[in-house]
Amino acid sequence: MATITPRKDQDGNIIGYQAQVRKRGHPTQTKTFRSKRDAEAWSRLIESEMERGLWRDRSESEGTTLAQCIERYLSEVTSQKKNSRPETLKLQQWLRRPIACRFMSAIRGRDVAEVIKDMEGEGKAGNTIRLHLAVLSHLFKVAKTEWGMEAISNPVESVRKPRLPQGRERRLVGNEEERLLESCRQDENPDIIYIVRFAIETAMRRAEICGLRWENVNLPGRVALLPATKNGTVRRVPLSSIAVSVLSALPRRLDGLVWDAKPDTVTRSFERACRRAAIDGLTFHDLRHEATSRMFEKGLNPMQVAAITGHKTLQMLKRYTHLRAEDLAKMLG
């Protein structure tokens, strides 16, 4: 049975009501409310849930703020990841928002929806907002399954996510590839010509190319091993004959790296090459799109291409693939 007890100040004035629910087989539940009506409603809810076997202990979630959970998540989850910085930055932004002061049990979908509006007002892209929401969603999952907050619901699951933009459709057209490679040969960075050719052949990301080590390259077997990738999985990339010829032409470095280039250096060199070649609207990451599309045009199926590129879902792979209608027509015969 529930007991409702008035709470008084030192002058005897009622300042609230304490509700206490005792039921055999369950720990005593106590909570204080401003009004007697709220205390009675809460008591009826707890008693009903206990009788139906649906009750879950809310004390942990009712006494823990989102900010406290973020700090714990950073310590126990994020810190264990190989590349924790991107997630850390996202969680730090959540910490600075007013929602971080709310108790976990009190956060609803509408609270998250308001943050989404704020992010859109800040100029964040739809995919960026989705990444922020993904981190928050996983935090709630961990809190529910591992931190004793079984009663909470995940508010991220109930909100409408921003729509993803269409994947970039920029591919090399006309004689752009020849012009780009010739311009790369003229660049002050001697590695850029090899890196660009290698990117077009392998669909590897910029950071994956720059971090490639000779110890992970098997030229006779025509395979490059990527032990640390963006999605955290090990990947073995098959090398075309052109990719093998690119690597075979390189000298071996004492530090074990294949290239003497940092990701930012590659971007700057690539942008210079595009300007010299009068190529507009092309980014280094577009070479990954180009390579992925060429693999399909060579007849590889989606599972084969995904194994090479490292895409975990066919939906993401589709966004990176833009097949030329002219090439598809040739395949039709």
Catalytic center residues: 205, 230, 285, 288, 311, 320
Provide φ and ψ at 19, rounded to 5°: -100, 135
CB-CB contact of 73 with 142 (8 Å): yes
d(CA 294, CA 203): 10
d(CA 62, CA 147): 13
d(CA 180, CA 272): 10
